[in-house]
Amino acid sequence: MRFVFKTDYEDDIRLFPHSGYIWSYGSLLVLLAIAPFVLSSYMMSQLVFVCIYATVGVGLLILTGFTGQASLGHAAFLAIGAYTTAYLQQFGVPFLVYFLAAGVLTGIIGAIVGFPALRLQGIYLVIATISFAFIVEEILARWESVTHGNEGMRVKAIQILGTPVPRDSPAFYFLCLGVLILTIIGSLNLLRSPTGRAFVAIRDSETAARSMGVNVSLYKVKSFAISAAIAGFAGCLFAHKLSFISPEMFTLQLSIEFIIVIIIGGAFSLHGAVLGAIFVVMVDPFLTFLKDDIPGVIGGLAATFGASTAKAAQIKDSVAAFASANGLKGAIYGIIIILFVLFEPLGLYGRWLKIKLFFQLFPLYKRATFKRQKIYVKSERNR
Amino acid sequence: MSYFRAENISLHFGGLKAVDSVSFAVEKGEILSIIGPNGAGKSSIFNLVSRIYPPTSGRIYFEDQDITQEPAFGIARLGIARTFQNIELFENATVLSNLLVGRHRHSTTQLWQELLFLPSVRATEKAHRRRVEQVIEFLDLEAYRDKLISGLPYGVRKVIELARALCTEPKLILLDEPSSGLNVEETDDMSFWIRDMKTELGITVLMVEHDMTLVNRVSDRVIALNYGRVLAMGSPAEVQVHPDVVAAYLGA
């Protein structure tokens, strides 16, 4: 087992506590760099969605995971970023300008949403953010002079220095990957400086944060603004990836998917956003696999185990009917969230940490290491 | 003029007078203890001073400045730190980051600088870290630096709360029952630290405490409260034999 021996205050600050991190992240980067030359175009497309979802996930983690303010309105922030992109593109604005505008405008709107949130907590805040998302959805559908209502808007390919970057090109993938990596680095920087610590302080005890001199209202608004701005940047890429946007793409379902990203991934570390995004994006290919291949496999199995041809075909049909049933995706999400909340509240990243510790301590690992313990009840009267 | 002054402060919850027109003053560099039976209004006074509750009436002055209308986070910036009776630590953070939150009032970096983690941010972070290390050394917390609060025993949490308050480099520190839940040895340590805070760090201490041994050992003056009113004020020995105080504790 590795023991990090600290000899300098720098050791508490650095992003990579020891050389092992550089090796593992380095090799991951190499893998991601060669991915477009190895993977099929369908998988590349999914990988781009992973990048975009993970970017939104990082933003949502800052707000929900680190500042403790739940939001079910992130689809709306994504929508604002996407529509800013589509709107500005009509006037021939260059990519870099409307990309920044998408982030900044969404950030400002995020700050405005943050103000009513100052007085709300827990479930009430969730309801407020849902209402915000519905308002945005409605505005997008009705403000036809700008958003073209339910007809939606076309988004042209990105032009960088006169060369177009098509949405299924490796260059677009690297752009999304770059935005994700920059977002992660920026967020890590934020989290190791006073602002990030103030966020965590607000999450764990507002009273104590206040008495340490943290301007709680200001930092909540800041957190909303940062989180929304990140979603806005992601929205710009999202619009380009889809090449067509309309209000029904940014529904509550999408906000819930973002929440799933951080619940499944693990809400206490940025790793969670990436793992959760991989999970959420890969549910679709998994379902396609379920629809296309599983009925045949099960039918074949039934035949080999002595079922008559007619019976096997019948089994195959009923499995196929089940696999292509409406709402199967929702049901799978639901079941998985319940299982995670019950058995792995720390998410996929928490599971990974446990597996890692198991091998580090082998054969001395104790299950009790991660056991949740009951602690004394904290007084709530000073809220 | 006194260093810290509360003039006729009151806190009423409807008809209940939790604090009823209390006046007291703290001199620079002294340790003043507030004692009283349960529900006497001791913690309420602390919550008034640290602006968690707005007072119903009365004024509070610190260094000749009226701080009655100051927001709660502004109090810390003026140099008043506090601890809580029912520990209010940041549970899911390490001891180190808890203490670094204490440095918040000294942070000067802007958001954009932090996003890029510019050399200036790195430098101030290291300076904060150095100050935190001094407090860690002062309170013997070396063993716990990278531990999560949620896994630590009560006695240690109590000390960490004190450490976090010291990290703000306060001029006046409010200790809400520093010895509650501590065993005899830990209480001993606590009394040494409180005296060292006064003599070595030059911090003025205002303290609510039930443990009379601790009060006698460290206090310069004592205020006894009951039903939100001041019963007696003076040296620990004087207050303990004051007839009203005896009556409040033992019944008339």
Per-residue model confidence as pLDDT tens digits over B204-240:
999 999 888 999 999 999 999 988 899 999 999 998 8
Q: What is the pLDDT of residues A165-220, one digit of tens each?
A: 888 889 999 999 999 999 999 999 999 999 999 999 999 999 899 999 999 999 99
Q: How far lies A372's CA from each of A65, A366, B160, in Å? A: 18, 13, 22
Same structural domain, B53 and B7 = yes
Closest CA to B212 of B224, B195, B202, B204: B224
ipTM: 0.91
Compute the average pLDDT of residues B170-181: 91
B23 shares its domain with B101: no
* A100/B contact by beta carbon, under 8 A: no
Whether the Cβ atoms of residue A141 and residue A247 lie closer than 8 Å to each other: yes
Domain end, chosen from A261, A281, A301, is at: A281
Least-confidence region, from A361-370, B14-23, B43-52, B73-82: A361-370
Local structure of residue B82 (DSSP, 8 states): E
Q: Cβ of B93 and A200 within 8 Å?
A: yes
> What number of CA atoms fall less than 13 Å from residue A255's CA on the CB side?
25
Is B150's Cβ below 8 Å from some Cβ in A?
yes
pLDDT in the model for residue A160: 81
CA count, 13 A, side-chain hemisphere, A95: 17
Say what the pLDDT of residue A383 is: 46
Mutate one of B95, B101, B107 to test the A interface: name it (highest A CB count within 10 A).
Answer: B101
Number of folded domains that form chain A: 2
At A232, the pLDDT band (50, 70, 90 cuts) reads very high
A214 and A309 co-located in one domain = no
The stretches of chain A forming alpha helices (DSSP H) are 10-13, 19-38, 41-60, 74-89, 95-117, 123-142, 144-147, 170-191, 194-204, 206-211, 216-242, 252-265, 270-292, 294-304, 309-323, 328-343, 347-361
- Read off the pLDDT of residues A74-101 as tens digits, 9 standing for 90 and up: 999 999 999 999 999 999 889 999 999 9
Do B181 and B247 reside in the same domain of the chain? yes
Among A252, A281, A310, give the residue marking a domain's end.
A281
Chain A / chain B CB contacts < 8 angstroms: 125
Which of A270, A285, A281, A284 minimizes the C-alpha distance to A347? A270
Instruction: Assess contact for B164 and B101: CB atoms under 8 A.
Output: yes
| Residues B62, B50 contacting (CB under 8 angstroms) | no
B56 neighbors B243 (Cβ within 8 angstroms): no
Question: Which of B168, B194, B226 lies at the terminal end of a domain, its last residue?
Answer: B168
Say how far apart CA A268 and CA A272 lie, in whole Å. Answer: 7
Which residues are within 8 A (CB) of B177 and not within 5 positions of it... i.e. 6 or more apart? B85, B208, B209, B210
Domain range for B38: 1-79+170-252
Grade residue A289 by pLDDT with cuts at 50, 70 and 90.
confident
Cβ atoms A136, A79 nearer than 8 A: yes
Among residues A56, A66, A116, the alpha carbon closest in space to that of A223 is found at A66
- Candidate from B84, B85, B97 with C-beta closest to A197: B97
- pLDDT higher than 90, residue A327: no
Q: Which of A15-19, A32-36, A50-54 has the lowest mean pLDDT?
A: A15-19
| The pLDDT value given to residue A380 | 47
Scanning A5-34 for CB atoms below 8 A from B yields 9-10, 12-13
CA angle (A234, A341, A289) in 5-degree steps: 65
Q: Which two tokens stand for residue A365?
A: 């690992």
**What pLDDT is recorded for position A373?**
56
Question: What is the pLDDT at residue A381?
Answer: 45
Q: How many CB atoms sit inside 10 A of residue A267's CB?
A: 24
Q: Are residues B26 and B16 in the same domain?
A: yes
Residue B110 has pLDDT above 60, yes or no: yes
Judged by a CB distance cut-off of 8 A, whether residue B142 touches chain A is no
Strands B172-176 and B4-13: unpaired
- Nearest Cα of chain B lies from the Cα of A372 at a distance, in angstroms, of 10
How confident is the model over A46-85, as pLDDT tens digits?
A: 999 999 999 999 999 999 999 999 899 999 999 999 999 9
Would you say residue A8 lies in a domain? no
pLDDT, position B83? 93
Let me know whether B142 and B243 are in one domain.
no
Q: Both A185 and A307 in a single domain?
A: no
The Cα–Cα gap between A143 and A116 comes to: 24
Is there a single domain that holds both residue B74 and residue B175? yes
pLDDT, tens digit, 9 for 90 and up, residues A142-154: 998 888 888 889 9
More confident residue, B105 or B2: B105
Q: How many domains does chain B have?
A: 2
Mean pLDDT of B2-18: 90
- Phi then psi for residue A163, to 5 deg, are -100, 130
Q: Residue A248 has what DSSP assignment?
A: G
Are A264 and A359 contained in the same domain?
Answer: no
Cβ contact, residue pair B52, A200, below 8 Å: no
Per-residue DSSP letter, B4: E
Please check whether residue B115 is in contact with residue A190, taking contact to mean a CB–CB distance below 8 angstroms. yes
- Residues B192 and B177 reside in one and the same domain: yes
Domain presence at residue B84 = no
pLDDT tens digits for range A256-281:
999 989 988 887 889 999 999 999 99
Query: DSSP secondary-structure letter at B80?
Result: E
Q: Which of A9, A210, A376 sits opposite B126 (nearest CB)?
A: A9
| Interface contact B107-A194, CB threshold 8 A | yes
CATH for B22: 3.40.50.300
Two structure tokens written together for B95: 């001891």
Provide the token pair at B85: 């009776």
Which chain A residue is nearest to residue B132, measuring alpha carbons? A9
Q: Do A12 and B81 touch (CB under 8 A)?
A: no
Enumerate residues 6+ apart whose C-beta is below 8 A from B176: B43, B46, B82, B83, B84, B85, B208
Residue A375 has pLDDT above 70, yes or no: no
> CA angle A76-A77-A81, nearest 5°?
115
Task: Provide the token pair at B140.
Answer: 């013997």
Please, which residues 208-227 of chain B have a Cβ atom closer than 8 Å to chain A? none
For A197, the closest of B86, B101, B105 (CB atoms) is B101
Q: What is the DSSP letter of B94?
A: B
In a domain, B60, yes or no: yes
Does B75 map to a domain?
yes
Strand partners, B172: B80, B204
CB-closest option in B84, B92, B109 to A268 = B92
Alpha carbons A103 and A157: distance in angstroms, whole number: 19
Contacts of residue A360, defined as CB under 8 A and 6 or more positions apart, other chains included, come to A1, A2
| E strand map for chain B | 4-13, 16-26, 31-35, 57-62, 65-66, 80-82, 172-176, 204-208, 221-226, 229-234
In a domain, residue B39? The reply is: yes
For residue B85, being part of any structural domain is answered with: no
Is the domain of A172 the same as that of A225? yes
User: In whole numbers, what is the pLDDT of chain B averaged over residues?
Assistant: 91
% residues pLDDT > 90 (chain A): 48
Asked if A295 and A360 sit in the same domain, the reply is yes
Distance CA A201, CA A210 (A): 9
pTM: 0.89
- pLDDT of residue A382 exceeding 60, the answer is no
Rounded distance, CA A206 to CA A200, Å?
10
Which range is least confidently modeled, A195-199, A225-229, A327-331, B209-213?
Answer: A327-331
Q: Is 90 exceeded by the pLDDT of residue A302?
A: no
Residues A250 and A305 in one domain: no
Last residue of a domain, one of B168, B186, B216: B168
CA dist B62 and B53 (Å) reads 17
Domain boundary among B133, B168, B203: B168
Range of the domain at A47: 40-281
At B158, phi and psi to the nearest 5? -60, -45
Helix (H) / strand (E) containing A165: strand A163-165
